[in-house]
A and B are shown apart, each in its own frame.
Chain A
């Protein structure tokens, strides 16, 4: 077992044409997440979104690159900052936006909202309001796959703060002990709400914790979608092959505060400016795999999708009050 820090992006395996096609897909997905989150923020500012939402702006490359490695029958465990994962998993944008606005047409008929958004049909085990809550659930899905003898893999996203929760330790320990087909992806955006990870953790490289469990640990530039994809693909392949779990740390940054209502005064504006300068879309554009025209086409197409989702959500009705009493139990 080795614990290593990933270096520069390796030459992709796709070949030239495949590479361009992959770049288009990555750009489309990342831009879709970007636009989706911007509109969520707009709804919040217009007073149309109840409660709060934790935006994924700036971290789009992690979800996009990692989920690109997953098969349709695999499982994805998410976090309170889960919109990006679900968009990347190919969820229905209309139903997502409707759920976030608390409408009856939403994924959970308005019962879950942003923080519990879920699509079981896509093996998306749900956003989760409890930091670290999703780690054990994804690990259980991996255990389930192993019990059933399938080669499904579970991918567990969580933040740097969740790595300090007990479930992180318990889950990684068991997954390693039993060679569970699970890939753990830390989205290290440096802040747990207002607290800088560097103020509460001596070892800032969280991937190094993997060594303690006896599993591979890898760090990667979380703003480089290809880099993320490459690292996670290896981890997924290993998991599927029965070689056990891997811990991947994606170094990234969130643009907004912890949620839409957090002005993030605890951060140095210069730090934000530095990260924005090399944000995921820019990093991909700099690879010169796509022309300006291609990018413009992608944007126009995605903008239309997002506009339609917003329209759908806004025009949808709120659920009947009686709906609150349904779905506590199933038959």
Chain B
């Protein structure tokens, strides 16, 4: 294992896949000359040329739509949206075209395309650059949705995403790009993490905490702190929301009797409510408390840290919630 920053793990995944498969190409705003707003594509333009690491104009709808066309005709585009917030600008390409063409064609074609984009708050980026709107993607059939956590996870899942023959929306967390994790496989190891198989981060018997993306890091920290108080929380990193590994959640809740779901998206009509409803038929008689959930409050993300931080779950809030539940 090696210690790497998340952004470097992503860069490695892209590099390795571009080297492995000439049909893989990148397109996005500022990804070429400067190597990306979050520095995930540094050096790739020089290595693979302008066409395969294309600095695009500010045309999200265009580059996503073009990705669909290229994917239909033999390429494996990896399109980068600078912020997940911008997926709304490209929504037709993502959700009416990319997600549905395979189905509308009756299976005549497929769209092996990855759309990478950072989500999440915590950077004082205010309402249009801080959202966690991965649930939007989950709501549309035909898209696989990845919400990775650590550097090793990002690399392994991105490699799987690029090799998947279906559209994948890959939500990285902007606050983790420069965080180091000592879980990246050694160079030369071609490790792909399969979709639909959650990772049990910490084992425990008192409560199940299901989470993803940066919230996994917070939940792990909360669980670690609570262990000193004798509370054993089991933390599950979902990795992918579509497909969703309900089996791992269900088995864990059968053991613990309690379920807390933490996701950075707005609390209403989102990931947390969906998971609660999805597992309820299987865990009802095992529950010792109502399923609870944590997410970002239902207000646009404000600019000032004094306003923003209190709205988003963190390790302390998760720990408090766990304590209240067990």
Contact = CB atoms under 8 A, between A and B. Distances in A.
Do A and B contact each other directly (Cβ–Cβ < 8 Å)? yes
Contacts of B92: 130, 133, 167
B96 A328 contact: no
Interface string A126-156: 1011100101111111111111100000100
A244 B65 CA distance: 19
A167 B91 CA distance: 12
25 contacts: A107-B106, A108-B106, A111-B104, A112-B105, A116-B104, A118-B108, A118-B109, A125-B69, A126-B104, A133-B65, A136-B62, A136-B65, A137-B68, A137-B69, A140-B69, A141-B69, A142-B69, A143-B66, A144-B74, A167-B61, A170-B62, A174-B59, A327-B105, A327-B107, A330-B102
Given A108-B105, A137-B66, A140-B70, A330 B165 contact: yes
Given A133-B96, A136-B61, A174-B57, A328 B102 contact: yes
Contacts of A241: none
B69 A77 contact: yes
B66 A139 contact: yes
B170 interface: no
A229 to B, nearest CB: 25
A26 interface: no
A24 interface: no
Q: Chain B contact residues (Cβ within 8 angstroms of A): what range?
A: 35 or more
B65 A137 contact: yes
A80 to B, nearest CB: 12
B110 interface: yes
A106 B166 CA distance: 23
Interface in B100-138: 101-110
Interface of B: 23, 25, 51-52, 56-57, 59, 61-75, 77, 92-93, 96-97, 101-110, 141-142, 144, 165-166
Contacts of B101: 118, 126
A-B complex: 3 closest residue pairs judged by Cβ atoms = A136-B65, A140-B69, A170-B62
Contacts of B105: 107-108, 111-112, 116, 118, 120, 126, 327
Contacts, number: 152
Nearest to B113: A140
A174 B66 contact: yes
A75 interface: yes
Contacts of A147: 25, 51-52, 70, 75
| Most central of A118, A142, A166, A167 by chain B CB within 10 Å | A167
Nearest to A131: B92
B108 A108 contact: yes
A154 B102 CA distance: 20
A331 interface: yes
A330 B66 contact: no
B107 A326 contact: yes
Interface of A: 75, 77, 106-112, 116, 118-121, 123, 125-126, 128-130, 133, 135-148, 154, 166-167, 170-171, 173-174, 177, 326-331
| Most central of B23, B70, B97, B105 by chain A CB within 10 Å | B105
Nearest to A106: B106
A118 B104 contact: yes
A171 B104 contact: no
Given A170-B57, A171-B62, A330 B104 contact: no
Contacts of B72: 120, 125, 137, 140-141
Contacts of A143: 66, 69-70
A319 B12 CA distance: 46
A173 B70 contact: no
Given A142-B69, A167-B92, 6 more contacts: A109-B106, A118-B104, A126-B105, A174-B63, A328-B141, A330-B102
A301 B236 CA distance: 66
A47 B68 CA distance: 35
| Most central of A110, A139, A173, A330 by chain B CB within 10 Å | A330
A126 B103 CA distance: 12
A139 B106 contact: no
A111 B101 CA distance: 10
Given A174-B59, A330-B102, A119 B65 contact: no
B102 to A, nearest CB: 6
B103 A137 contact: no
A241 to B, nearest CB: 18
| Most central of A108, A120, A126, A147 by chain B CB within 10 Å | A147
A111 B69 contact: no
Nearest to B243: A329
B106 A167 contact: no
B263 to A, nearest CB: 23
A77 B71 CA distance: 14
B108 to A, nearest CB: 4
Contact of A139 (B57, B65, B110): B65
A129 B105 CA distance: 13
A200 B96 CA distance: 26
B100 to A, nearest CB: 8
Contacts of B68: 136-137, 140
Nearest to A154: B69
B142 to A, nearest CB: 5
